[in-house]
Chain A
Amino acid sequence: MATISSTAEPDLVSTPLVGRPDVNRKRLARMGWGFSAPALIVIAAVTIFPIVYSVIMSFNNVTVSGSGFSLDGFTVSNYNLLIHAALWRDALFFTVYYTVVTVAFELFLGTCIALVLERLVAGRGWMMALLLIPWSMITVINAELWNYIYNGTYGVADYILGGLGFGHPVILGTPTPAIIGVMIADIWKTTPFVAIIVLAGLVMLPGDVYEAAEVDGASGWTTFWTITLPLLRPTIALAVMFRVLQAFGLFDLPYVMTGGGPGTATQSLAILAYNALFKNLSFGPGAAVASSTALLVLLGCLATLRVFRAQVGQEGN
């Protein structure tokens, strides 16, 4: 690839770009491919190949041994196993439920925070830096921190709840509180990320529309509902997309906090895939979980985009 770029560059200098649009377009396209080729090869090697391989693996009987593993023939039994496994259905339900709830909360809180931040005249930089602390902390450390808070014998949450007369619920050891507990940790960590994206969108909004609204005597509430929110929709769509992608791959938070328990109450699809792949060494079913999860999140994203598409198109015009 290096040869293409090194010969193309002097060429570009010696030949004027104006006057021969067709030739230039072809040459530019060739150059573009040349420059992109190293990156494309790396992407193909480290992402596309493994993905395709894992899909192939999910359709095979896989034998793992000390000398690597072998694919022993086409089968749909791995997917058949998933469909009939309560474990997979429970993990799917938990992952979807978790994604919907946390993304909704993060979006609401993040937008509120962004609106406040935008109005902030002094100390906005400091506030943003402070806000980003939970987001910038490693998730595993976050999870350990919340484990201390929730601990049933010496945790702060346990102490506070006890003091308020709620008794001593074992937060991470009881299914519903455990799910809520993991969600709170996630919302605490990720809301700032949503706030920053929304804030960026807010700052970009055109000022003249607001001036016009003010002239027309619109109240703050009306301005928010009829101007700010519609204009923000593309930004919100982006935030939702990022968050759905991340939330669907949920692994570290419940893995550290609950190990997927109590029972299987907080077992996400990613934890299920990990257990199948690396604990049971059953690579076929594990690959099937990973591949089907990727397909589901892809469909989920397409659906979300469809909902927001009108707004994205409007903004384009």
Chain B
Amino acid sequence: MGSRKYPGRRHLSGKQLTAVIGVAGALALAGCGGSSGSSSTAGGGGGATQSATGSASGSATSGSIVWSASPLTGTGANDARTVLINAFEKQYPGIKVTLVSAPTNTDTNRATLATQISGGSATPDVFMGDVIWPAQFGAHQLAVPLSQYLPSSYWSQFAPGLVQGATYKGAIYGSPLFEDQGFLYYRKDLLAKDHMSVPQTWEQLESDASKLVKGGLVKYGFVWQGDSYEGLTCNFMEYLTDAGGAPTNSGYTKATLNSAAATKAVTFMRSLITSGASPAAVTTFQEPQAMNTFGGGNAAFLRNWDYAYSAATTASSGGKLKASQVGVAPLPTFQGQTYPGYSNIGGWNMYINPHSKNINVDLTFIKWLATAPAQDILSKRYGFISTVTSVRSDPAVIGSNPVFAVVPKTKLTPRPAGTPQYPALSTAIYQNVNGALAGSSSPSAATSAMQSAASSALSSSSGGL
């Protein structure tokens, strides 16, 4: 019976082998795309809580919720998120907040939340999300319109522009937690050696940086975020706005990236590399690489967010510089424009999962995060820019960090995030700018490629590739 029960392996015909391997291949590959399909069907049964009554007011005294937030700063007992939770639980002893640490990469973070929420999961109840998410999350009903619950008096306490940025089609989806914006950090000691003043134009910055490198005073001149990712869109927006351009029309229906201003911006960014002002490796730099280069004493200038001052001067964060060596200023602008240049707005909001079973507790937590004690922790202890006007203008807060003193002097430019198609739009921008920085396409070819990819993203109802 052996021969019949165990057909010899060698008798496997070519055709059979073809079939087996073919099927295995299809299974292996399509399984990847298919996983989204299976999670979706689970989600189909999840109850939608979109038609919320709006009765919850955020005055709960007991309950327990799960908060998803990516790491901010600090570790262990000094973790900013843990410190916030402890302070909240002290004031609301009946409420328990459980922290779920979200991925640090904002795109991975979003993918995780989008699959969880569209899959019908009731947790996390509240999540900390990027300021560029409201349109996408609002359009796909992945977040609760908070304006249903919280009165206009709540929203008026925030600094101008922030609530508008969290609004999509008339509803406010995110409650501003802290703000980020671009700054120019510079080495006071190096500038003093060469008797330079803080550059007020990009052209000046470029020549100062090259001069310092050529003079052997420092290894690299100006470091920033040039990798192919969201951060490059932030950097590009600053040059683009300084050059007088805009990425789209005001209704987000048309891309306007094939402009002279966009070409000027890309040409200048590329020239930073070719002139030797920035290292060629800047095309692979995200925040950590730029930060490490500057914080390690290897660069004269740095474009980074507000946390960079303390990161550069705090040994435990890897900074090797003394406070006396580091200066902070608004970003420069192009020659012929009024100083200062534009800083891109970043930062994080608090959102509520539409499937949350504890909306009243969620609101209580979110409202507390906008109060002075919570905002003080974020700004005084950790150096984040407060979103609440009264905290921001508090002299005690301003005195706690040199960066805060610069904030009132800056001009802000947002990213074009008012459309649910923003992720595809941003991808169109950063991929093509990065290509031009790497020298694989000319600035004008990059802007026309950017324009065509951005146009197809904006005209696509499905979101595009």
Could you list which residues of chain A lie within 8 angstroms of chain B, going by C-beta atoms? 17, 46-51, 53-55, 57, 61-62, 64-70, 77-78, 81-82, 85-88, 151-153, 168-170, 172-175, 241, 245, 248-249, 251, 258-265, 270, 272-287, 289-291, 293-295, 297-298, 301-302, 305-306, 309, 312-313, 315-316
Contact = CB atoms under 8 A, between A and B. Distances in A.
Interface in B1-59: 1, 10-14, 17-18, 21-22, 24-38, 40-48, 50
B298 to A, nearest CB: 7
A305 B14 contact: yes
Given A170-B283, A259-B229, A262-B437, A287 B33 contact: yes
A189 B462 CA distance: 38
Contact of B462 (A48, A61, A85, A265): A61
Contacts of B293: 153
A101 to B, nearest CB: 19
B141 A50 contact: no
B142 interface: yes
A294 B26 contact: yes
A307 B13 CA distance: 14
A68 B118 contact: yes
Contacts of B465: 81-82, 85, 87-88, 272, 275-276, 280, 282, 285, 289
Nearest to A261: B228
Contacts of B441: 263
B13 A316 contact: yes
Contacts of A274: 111
A84 to B, nearest CB: 8
Contacts of A275: 427, 465
A279 B427 contact: yes
A153 B228 contact: no
Contacts of B83: none
> What 7 pairs across the A-B complex have the smallest Cβ distances?
A290-B33, A152-B281, A263-B435, A50-B34, A261-B228, A282-B463, A68-B43
B354 interface: yes
Interface of B: 1, 10-14, 17-18, 21-22, 24-38, 40-48, 50, 107, 110-111, 114-115, 117-120, 136, 140-143, 220, 226-229, 279-284, 289, 293, 298, 354-355, 421, 423-424, 427, 431-432, 434-441, 449, 453, 456, 460-465
Contact of A258 (B37, B111, B115, B228): B228
Nearest to B105: A259
A298 B462 contact: no
A8 to B, nearest CB: 16
A294 B37 CA distance: 15
Contacts of B461: 61
Interface hub of B10, B24, B27 (most chain A Cβ within 10 A) = B27
Contact of A47 (B27, B143, B432, B436): B27
Contact of B36 (A87, A169, A286, A298): A286
Nearest to A158: B281
A67 B440 contact: no
B14 A309 contact: yes
A281 B17 CA distance: 38
B46 A281 contact: no
A85 B456 CA distance: 9
Contacts of B12: 316
Contact of B142 (A55, A66, A151, A297): A66
